[in-house]
Amino acid sequence: MRIIATDLPDVFIIEMKVFADDRGSIKELWNAPRYLNQGLGVPSVQTNFSRSRKGVIRGLHYQEPHGQGKLVTVVAGEVFDVAVDIRKGSPTFGRWTGTLLSGDNHHQLWIPPGFAHGFSVLSDQADFLYQCTAPYDPNCEHAIRWNDPAIGIDWKVSDPVIARKDMAAPLLSEAKALPPYYPLPPLIVTTNGSDGGKP
């Protein structure tokens, strides 16, 4: 696998190796020793699956305390996946990065704890996997408004479909439960590439 840098120093794209022949193909979505040896978080303790239709935006979600690192994969379809640094005191606080994930490009996105996460669906339907480093805790669930102008995410959809709960989420400047900043160990990257932005 290759590790690709994004605009945010702690968020990485992982390009999976695919083995293909005339029968089809196979790829590893998670291999604990290999991923951990690269410094990518801790073992996955929960895997979630979601299916969404075109134009849906989910996010920006995070958990605090008991923050979740997320390794996200699109099994079928295409999404624009986004991470926002919301760690108090971080030198990249309020900045976002985004990348296209699809069933065809064989990319994953690693989002460590301390970042809000969201995605928009660009295909007619998308099947999405989240491998999480901590169990979901409804008492620690939080969100940032998907269209916070101070963040300024270009979701790449013209007619978004958004849950009422996400529409009512606070702005980043109003959020009361933000994770603290602490430096993460650097990873060795193979190449650079992302489509992100600054507030």
Query: Has residue 103 been placed in a domain?
Result: yes
In a domain, 196, yes or no: no
**What pLDDT, on the 0 to 100 scale, is given for residue 193?**
53
Specify if 190 maps to a domain. Answer: no
- Write out pLDDT tens, residues 72-92: 999 999 999 999 999 999 999
Q: pTM of the predicted model, to two decimals?
A: 0.90
What is the domain count for the chain? Answer: 1
Q: Which residues are catalytic?
A: 61, 130
pLDDT (tens digit, 9 = 90+) per residue, 157-195? Answer: 999 999 999 999 999 999 989 999 988 877 767 655 545
How much is the average pLDDT of 21-49? Answer: 80
In a domain, 184, yes or no: no
Q: How many C-alpha atoms does 50 have within 13 Å on its Cβ side?
A: 16
The residue range of the domain holding 159 is 2-175
- Residue-wise pLDDT tens digits, 52-76: 999 999 999 999 999 999 999 999 9
Q: Is residue 180 part of a domain?
A: no
- Residue 37's pLDDT band (boundaries 50, 70, 90)? confident
Query: Per the domain annotation, does 27 fall within a domain?
Result: yes
CATH number of the CATH domain containing 135:
2.60.120.10
Structural domain includes residue 188: no
